């Protein structure tokens, strides 16, 4: 809970908002805000709740006996895409782990820091993690993704489980499940996890979850394009401590995929003005996307030449031009480099442009209220690493009744045991 006094909250709010914006929110004159800030007049106690709304930090949830809100932990949290899916089902985060400071900045601004937030999960003792009902982990996909594997191969390094750092992170997840025995878990990764090392990697994962940890495990590849105009296939693995009648048939995946135009900035005067973005991505006066997102002549020539070279050699590489009725390729964490996988066509007379970070947020299904406090480079990396949030929301929706049943039945779980004994 944010127990800070009104003046402290005012200082926090001023890091993000102008005196005028705060004045509008609390129904006062900007001069009054300045007097409060300078300590010329004391901040009224009532100011606190209005500022908490601005800081998007609701009162911390209370756990009354008999309530069945789902408590979850958010591991490899990134910017909280999976978290948002579970919050939509009435879940409360009780612990987060994310070691990247830029991602942490985005995460904390959007969700607050009302619970323990730790960096590296590897050395963190599992028994110090608060009790929880559901464990969420979008563990890093680099060792399993095609790009990750080929990069590591080219560097002569091992990949997957052989890789001593990233690949073993699954076992950190397993270690925590073994110790904390949550009622359920949701793990997310690239689709390529299924075929990595001829299927051996996935077999080890399933064996660990089913045979060692004794969970009822279900998995499925889901394409984000049911919800947003992006082809993004990810494997979702869910597990329950008890046998359930969980079924993927309960998923509601909209048939008609939305098209790119639904997430692009609107140049017809209807683009909303977001106080937290101001004109960073879109010039509201001129009604244009900021020119810096249009490719430089040099980069555009390079990309065309590169694509032509590969086309001549019979390879499928190249840039991905997209139009208002397109569904894009997968947004990658490397989008900031040249943005070649998704280039927005701007007419024959203009060079194409990249998506803005706000458009990337929309492409991942994040609401416009989501704040982007980091540089474009970091923002592209963060969204490219994240999840199509509505997919998570839908999976959380079909998991929730089973978790609620287990909470209500008050099952306490079986004795803890060591995975590696
Ligand atoms: C694939 S991303 C997950 C993104 C997340 N699902 C989201 O919605 O943004 C994996 C994240 O794990 C973090 N990470 C990698 N190794 C870690 C470690 N040892 N401890 C904590 N975080 C780690 C990375 O910084 C990255 O943000």
- Cα(400) to ligand 1 centroid in Å equals 24
Q: Has residue 7 got a pLDDT over 90?
A: no
Q: Average pLDDT over the chain, rounded to whole?
A: 86
- Which atom of ligand 1 has the smallest separation from the CA of 80? 8
Query: Count of alpha carbons within 13 Å of 200, Cβ hemisphere only?
Result: 6
Bigger pLDDT: 203 vs 141: 203
Instruction: Write out pLDDT tens, residues 353-388.
Output: 999 999 999 999 999 999 999 999 999 999 999 999
User: Under CATH, which number does the domain 71-257+386-408 receive?
Assistant: 3.40.50.150
Bigger pLDDT: 51 vs 205: 205
Per-residue confidence (pLDDT) for residue 61, from 0 to 100 = 42
Average pLDDT over residues 65-85: 89
Q: Is residue 85 in contact with ligand 1, taking CB distance under 6 Å?
A: no
Q: Is residue 78 in contact with ligand 1, taking CB distance under 6 Å?
A: yes
Task: From 140, 170, 387, give the residue whose CB has the most ligand 1 atoms within 8 Å, as the site to mutate.
Answer: 140
- Which atom of ligand 1 has the smallest separation from the CA of 103? 27
Q: Which residue has the tokens 């830029």?
A: 102
Q: Has residue 83 got a pLDDT over 70?
A: yes
Short-list 225, 216, 204, CA closest to 243: 216
Q: Has residue 314 got a pLDDT over 50?
A: yes
Confidence of residue 196 (pLDDT cuts 50, 70, 90): confident
Task: From 74, 77, 236, give the residue whose CB has the most ligand 1 atoms within 8 Å, as the site to mutate.
Answer: 77
DSSP-derived secondary structure for 182-201: -SEEEEEEEGGGGTGGGGHH
User: Under CATH, which number does the domain 6-56 receive?
Assistant: 1.10.260
Beta carbons of 396 and 89 less than 8 angstroms apart: yes
- Cα(77) to ligand 1 centroid in Å equals 5
Per-residue confidence (pLDDT) for residue 140, from 0 to 100 = 84
Nearest residue by C-alpha to atom 14 in ligand 1:
76
Bigger pLDDT: 88 vs 51: 88
Q: Has residue 64 got a pLDDT over 50?
A: no
Average pLDDT over residues 274-283: 95
Fold entry, domain 260-375: DNA Methylase; Chain A, domain 2 (3.90.120)
Per-residue confidence (pLDDT) for residue 158, from 0 to 100 = 54
Confidence of residue 141 (pLDDT cuts 50, 70, 90): low
Q: Which residue has the tokens 């106690």?
A: 45
User: What residue segments make up the domains of the chain, in order of their start?
Assistant: 6-56, 71-257+386-408, 260-375
Q: Which residues pair with 364 in a beta bridge?
A: none
Bigger pLDDT: 99 vs 142: 99
Bigger pLDDT: 92 vs 57: 92
> What distance in Å separates the CA atoms of residue 255 and residue 388, rounded to the nearest whole number?
16
- Cα(97) to ligand 1 centroid in Å equals 8
| Lowest-pLDDT range of 95-104, 156-165, 202-211 | 156-165
Per-residue confidence (pLDDT) for residue 159, from 0 to 100 = 55
Tokens representing 377 are: 């480079």
Average pLDDT over residues 267-276: 93
Per-residue confidence (pLDDT) for residue 110, from 0 to 100 = 96
Strand, coil or helix: 171: helix
Dihedral through CA 340, CA 345, CA 348, CA 350, nearest 10? Answer: -80
- Cα(39) to ligand 1 centroid in Å equals 41
- Cα(75) to ligand 1 centroid in Å equals 7
Instruction: Write out pLDDT tens, residues 106-132.
Output: 999 999 988 899 999 999 999 999 999
Q: Is residue 110 in contact with ligand 1, taking CB distance under 6 Å?
A: no
Nearest residue by C-alpha to atom 25 in ligand 1:
100
Q: Is residue 101 in contact with ligand 1, taking CB distance under 6 Å?
A: no
- Cα(195) to ligand 1 centroid in Å equals 22
Nearest residue by C-alpha to atom 11 in ligand 1:
76
360 is catalytic: no
Beta carbons of 320 and 340 less than 8 angstroms apart: yes
Q: Is residue 138 in contact with ligand 1, taking CB distance under 6 Å?
A: yes
Q: Is residue 326 in contact with ligand 1, taking CB distance under 6 Å?
A: no
Per-residue confidence (pLDDT) for residue 385, from 0 to 100 = 96
Average pLDDT over residues 204-230: 96
Beta carbons of 115 and 389 less than 8 angstroms apart: no
| Lowest-pLDDT range of 138-142, 169-173, 298-302 | 138-142
- Cα(181) to ligand 1 centroid in Å equals 22
Q: What percent of the chain is modeled with pLDDT above 90?
A: 63
- Which atom of ligand 1 has the smallest separation from the CA of 122? 19
Confidence of residue 23 (pLDDT cuts 50, 70, 90): confident
Q: Which helix (H) or strand (E) holds 95?
A: strand 91-97
Query: How many CB atoms are closer than 10 A to CB 131?
Result: 12
| Lowest-pLDDT range of 95-99, 150-154, 395-399, 417-421 | 417-421
Q: Is residue 47 in contact with ligand 1, taking CB distance under 6 Å?
A: no
CA 104 to chain CA centroid, Å, is 11
């Amino acid at each position: 809970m944010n127990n800070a006094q009104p003046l402290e909250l005012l200082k926090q709010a001023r890091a993000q908002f102008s005196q005028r914006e705060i004045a509008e929110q609390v129904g006062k004159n900007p001069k009054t805000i300045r007097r409060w800030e300078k300590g010329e007049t004391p901040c009224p106690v009532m100011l606190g709740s209005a500022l908490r709304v601005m800081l998007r930090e609701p009162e911390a949830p209370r756990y009354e006996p008999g309530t069945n809100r789902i408590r979850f932990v958010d591991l490899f949290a990134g910017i909280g895409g999976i978290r948002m899916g579970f919050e939509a089902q009435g879940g409360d985060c009780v612990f987060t782990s994310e070691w990247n400071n830029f991602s942490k900045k985005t995460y904390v601004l959007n969700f607050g820091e009302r619970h323990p937030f730790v960096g590296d999960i590897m050395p963190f003792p599992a028994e110090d993690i608060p009790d929880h009902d559901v464990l969420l982990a979008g563990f890093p996909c680099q060792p399993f993704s095609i790009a990750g594997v080929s990069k590591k191969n080219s560097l002569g390094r091992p990949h997957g489980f052989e890789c001593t750092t990233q690949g073993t992170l699954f076992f950190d997840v397993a270690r925590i499940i073994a110790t904390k025995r949550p009622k359920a878990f949701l793990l997310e990764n690239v689709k390529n996890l299924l075929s990595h090392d001829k299927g051996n990697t996935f077999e080890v994962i399933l064996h660990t979850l089913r045979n060692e940890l004794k969970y009822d495990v279900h998995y499925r590849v889901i394409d984000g394009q049911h919800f947003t105009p992006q082809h993004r296939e990810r494997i979702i693995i869910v597990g329950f401590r008890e046998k359930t009648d969980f079924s993927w048939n309960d998923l509601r995946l909209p048939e008609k995929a939305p098209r790119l135009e639904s997430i692009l900035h609107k140049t017809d005067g209807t683009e909303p003005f977001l106080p937290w973005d101001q004109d960073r991505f879109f010039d509201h006066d001129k009604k244009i996307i900021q020119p810096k997102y249009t490719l430089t002549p040099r980069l555009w020539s390079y990309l065309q030449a590169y694509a032509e070279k590969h086309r001549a050699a019979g390879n499928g590489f190249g840039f991905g031009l997209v139009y208002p009725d397109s569904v894009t390729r997968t947004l990658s964490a490397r989008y900031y480099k040249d943005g070649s996988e998704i280039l927005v066509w701007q007419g024959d007379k203009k060079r194409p442009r990249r998506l803005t970070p706000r458009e990337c947020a929309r492409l991942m299904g994040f609401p416009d209220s989501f704040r982007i406090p980091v540089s474009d480079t970091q923002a592209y990396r963060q969204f490219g690493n994240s999840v199509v949030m509505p997919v998570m929301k839908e999976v959380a929706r079909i998991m929730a009744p089973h978790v609620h049943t287990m909470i209500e039945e008050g099952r306490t779980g079986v004795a803890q045991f060591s995975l590696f004994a």
